[in-house]
Amino acid sequence: MPETQPGPLPPDQPHSSESGGEEAALHFYKIRFRARSQECTASAHADDLVRGDQVMVRTEQGPEPATIVSRCPTLVGETIERPVLFRIQRRASNEEREKYAALPILEQEAFRICRRQIDSLRLPMHLVRVERFFNGSKIIFYFTAESRVDFRELVKALVQEFRTRVEMRQIGVRHETQMTGGLGACGRELCCATFLSRFDSVSIKMAKAQDLPLNPAKISGVCNRLLCCLTYEYETYRVMKKGMPRAGRSVLLEGKTYHVTRQLPLMGRVAVVGGDGEERLLTEEEWRAAEPVARPPGRKGPGRKGAGPGRRPGDDSSEENDPTGED
């Protein structure tokens, strides 16, 4: 993800308590490095940290301040392996808390200065966010642009202004939305802004497999790209639909020919209509027992090449590639 989280550390090594060689108990907390950043899991020996406490966390860039969001629940008698990336060293001192509180103000000022320089140089780029390291060793400017931008003059001006390392990082619309945050159509905070650490490939095929309306307004997110949540249940639908007769096919059951109108994977059934207009839901036992009806010569299935007669539902190897029957 483009948002700069302080670099993680190697896995925790066993710690010895002062009284002996026993391993000291670790407690786990959810922390945030910035007000709008994602939550991270951190370990600590202290067991009395509460929501709102400001602590110093050991990272690759050195100690970084963070705020305690919550304490992670622990199941008694069970060993829990948590994806712990950070270690809490101690509570932040008064001086560190004051410096931490001033950090957003410094970032806003850097944002204004950078945007003024962009306008002055007439660069075709949109500044999204600025992040400044706690120790002041580096400032990262995130921006979007339709193409590559020559920002060498901009970097020179910013280095001269801030007297520290400057990095310009171009991001896409998905990462821009991840940084700005917002609410999705479901009413919850955006997945990318709360817990997603990477963006998987999303295709319209996933929406088809889940029988969702192919209306761009309904399957697109705030970033105007396909919803990331289309990937969450796609594999489940793919497995459930495997072997089902596809919509548009005809099957023979109990001496009657039925035309498949819809697959209902969550119910394990297939909706069909008979030649006399009779609508019926076939159970899994029924549609598995149904015989496929050969298509007229020269007629191919929807989106399929060379679909021959006598194919049973789920017989061909192409079901692995497209179990939904949609290309």
- The DSSP-derived string for 261-313 is EEEETTTTEEEEEETTS-EEEE-HHHHHHPEEPPPPTT---TT-SS--TTPPT
| DSSP summary character for residue 233 | T
**Residues 96, 42: Cα–Cα separation, whole Å:** 19
CB within 8 Å of 57: residues ≥ 6 apart? 6, 31, 33, 42, 63, 64, 65, 66, 86, 87, 88, 89
Estimate to the nearest angstrom the gap between the alpha carbon of 168 and the chain centroid. Answer: 24
For residue 291 the two structure tokens come to 């015989």
The pairing of beta strand 86-91 with beta strand 40-44: parallel
Q: Which secondary-structure segment (H or E) carries 190?
A: none
Residues 273, 274, 279, 281, CA torsion sign: negative
Instruction: Spell out the domains of the chain, with CATH numbers in brackets.
Output: 27-92 (no CATH), 99-174 (3.30.300.20), 242-294+308-319 (2.30.30)
Residue from 42, 24, 25 nearest 33 by CA: 42
Residue-level pLDDT at 228: 92
| pLDDT tens-digit profile, the chain (327 residues) | 444 556 554 444 444 334 444 456 788 898 888 877 888 888 888 888 999 999 999 888 788 899 999 988 765 555 556 566 789 999 999 999 999 999 999 999 999 999 999 999 999 999 999 999 988 889 999 999 988 999 999 999 999 999 999 999 999 999 999 888 888 888 898 988 888 888 889 999 999 888 888 888 889 999 989 999 999 999 989 888 888 888 888 888 888 888 888 888 888 888 989 888 888 888 888 888 888 887 766 555 554 444 444 444 444 333 333 333 443
Residue-level pLDDT at 80: 55
Q: For 24, phi and psi rounded to 5 degrees? A: -70, 145
**Residues 163, 141: Cα–Cα separation, whole Å:** 15
CB within 8 Å of 230: residues ≥ 6 apart? 202, 206, 207, 210, 212, 219
Instruction: State the CB neighbour count (10 A cutoff) for residue 153.
Output: 12
Residue-level pLDDT at 217: 87
Spatial strand order of the sheet with 250-253 comes to 279-282, 269-274, 256-264, 250-253, 291-292
- Burial of 221 (C-beta count, 10 Å sphere; 0-12/13-18/19+): buried
- Burial of 313 (C-beta count, 10 Å sphere; 0-12/13-18/19+): buried
Q: With b meaning 16 or more CB within 10 Å and e meaning fewer, what string describes 56-94?
A: bbbbeeebbbbbbeebeeeeeeeeeeeebbbbbeeebee
- The pTM for the full model equals 0.69
